[in-house]
Structure 1
Amino acid sequence: MYQDSQKQNVDQYWFVGDLLMPGPSVQKVWNLFEKMAPQVVVRGNWDDLVVRGARGLMDTDKPSHVYFARLAQYVARHGSADLIDNLASWPLHVTKQVGPLNFGISHNLPELNMGQDLFPTKPTANFDRLFTAASDQAVDVAIYAHVHHQLLRYANDERVILNPGAVGEPFNHWSALQHDLRAHYLILEVDDQGLAETSFRHVNYDRAAESARAQSDAVPYAELYQRMMKTGLAYTHDDELLRQFNERYHYADEYRQFAATKLR
């Protein structure tokens, strides 16, 4: 995605949340993030999970909680010392003016970076809430991420709503569209009249190599990550499947031991 954006002469990056987990290459991803130096950064729900898990604050009451916690433990082990504190400092919502337009940027809703209220098939009234953040200036265009679907739609008052999709895990319930597992992102061109161009990009990358890297780097739940590389489907909330992995690899015990060292 980064190489493609350079070929497209992108001169500014906005990051809309969820940087790490469930894959490998933690420090490489962070180094690239710093190289890109986004002018806008907002905090996603998985960024919150990284922070809580890496600080030893995650409970192990449910299989999915163990999943998040053990992956965050992996991030804490493989990332730099300042990475976690950086993620924790990111805001939920940013307003930025470009040309004649004010953009409101959040991972999900301006005050809530989780939940399914903004799934693409939800009522338009849900999306109107993207424009309710406290700001000195009215927002003309809202940008969010979270649901892993590229999207252009309108609020009830016809303000524009955009979603860039997901670089690592694009998703669609329709099988023919779910087959496209390229990295999805969005390029905007803004001129003195407004949105001059909106380009939804799909970029190929070596998913087989990424899958192999998860195994060689001993990422927790590597088998599930490898399945996702083939299907694009996540297993985040499949508690029965996660329970089997947690018991097989003793992930809950590993995390509790890690958390005990953090909370002393």
Structure 2
Amino acid sequence: MRTRIAVFSDVHGNFSAFEAMYQDSLKQGVDQYWFIGDLLMPGPSVLKVWNLFEKIAPQVVVRGNWDDLVVRGARGLMDTEKPSHVYFARLAQYVAQHGSTDLIDSLASWPLHVTKQVGPLNFGISHNLPKLNMGQDLFPTKPTANFDRLVNVESEQPVDVAVYAHVHHQLLRYADDERIILNPGAVGEPFNHWPGLQRDLRAHYLILEVDDQGLAETSFRHVGYDRMVESTRAHSDALPYAELYQRMMKTGLAYTHDDELLRQFNDRYHYADEYRQFADQKLR
């Protein structure tokens, strides 16, 4: 028995990267897909991404922190106290206006943690920690004790291999007891603080092959795509913060927590007022 699994996460609305990853996975003879969270925002392609996601029909899905932001914002529940909150809220409004209620409800229904048996191995799968899909406790340079929390979970069988996402870094490391921990990296927004590695902005994902003995293959894939096409789509689809998305396509850097920069965009385009009007209508 051999099972080939494409593990992917952090698409962040980047359809060009997502399509490239999918086409590469077909060439690799993948049997199934696992999605580890953060499907939409800040990219423009709501329905294109969602339709491809439904076509892929992953056998495993867990909910990321940006999936939660989409749900809260699309339901009119986001506050506008901070520039970054306005950023999340206005992008979620865009998702709601280009998607459907069923799409939002589907994201809300995804679990935080899943265990799945494949061959002789039991996998523990979450976007970040098993009960917390946000925060920086599992950044690659953090202590091993933080990562032990991924394998020390309640399940019918002990977790042999933990898979998480969230930090946009591909990773293979070990828990204190030498159980394996993997991260597929980010399809839409790979990141690395080291400039020489940050230049690689291809779509990152992971292929696992499991046979009767265990992990027969662990392959970190990098798939190129046309970032200019993706950048142009942000403008043609009237994406909020299109200029920032286009800048990200050039630099690979995110501006999610640059409050001063976000404040400038929020004031220029009146994004907070737009979201408050949208939220008032949703909550009536």
Q: Does 1:128 align with 2:144?
A: no
Aligned to 1:175: 195
CA deviation profile, 1:117-145 (whole Å, cap 9, x unmatched): 00000000000000132211110000000
Alignment match of 1:76 (pick from 63, 73, 96): 96
Q: Which residue of 1 aligns with 2:227?
A: 207
CA distance in 2, matches of 1:203, 1:81: 32
CA offsets, 1:183-203, max 9 Å, x none?
000000000000000000000
Q: Where does residue 4 of structure 2 map in the other structure?
A: none
Return the match for 2:172 from 152, 155, 180. Answer: 152
Q: Check conservation: 1:27, 1:80, Cα contact below 8 A.
A: no
Q: Does 1:47 align with 2:67?
A: yes
> Any idea what SS the aligned residue of 1:13 has?
strand
How does the TM-score come out when normalised to structure 2?
0.92
Q: Note the residue ranges of structure 1 that are not aligned, 5 or more in a row.
A: none
Which residue in 2 is equivalent to 1:239?
259
Does 1:140 pair with 2:155?
no
Distance in 2 of aligned mates of 1:133 and 1:111: 10
Cα distance in 2 for residues equivalent to 1:85 and 1:105: 21
Structure 1 partner of 2:29: 9
Higher relative contact order (CA 8 A, sep 6+): 2
Deviation at residue 170 of structure 1 after TM alignment: 0.1
Match of 1:95 in 2: 115
Q: Distance in 2 between matches of 1:125 and 1:7?
A: 38
The separation in 2 between residues aligned to 1:122 and 1:29, in whole angstroms, is 32
| Off by >4 Å, runs of 4+ in structure 1 | none
Q: 2:54 aligns with which of 26, 34, 39?
A: 34
**Corresponding residue number in structure 1 for 2:11:** none
- Once the two structures are superposed, what CA deviation does each residue of 1:71-93 show, in whole Å capped at 9, x if it has no partner? 00000000133100000000000
Q: Over aligned residue pairs, what C-alpha RMSD do you find? A: 0.5
The aligned length equals 264
- Alpha-carbon distance in structure 2 between the residues aligned to 1:119 and 1:96: 24
Alpha-carbon distance in structure 1 between the residues aligned to 2:39 and 2:31: 20
Give the whole-Å Cα distance in 2 for the aligned partners of 1:198 and 1:136.
25
Equivalent-residue separation in structure 1 for 2:267 and 2:114 (angstroms): 41
Runs of 5+ consecutive residues of structure 2 not aligned to the other structure? 1-20
TM-score after normalising by structure 1: 0.99
Cα distance in 2 between the residues matched to 1:186 and 1:245:
35
Deviations 1:193-221 (A, max 9, x none): 00000000000011100000000101000
Inter-partner Cα distance in structure 1 for 2:31 and 2:169:
24
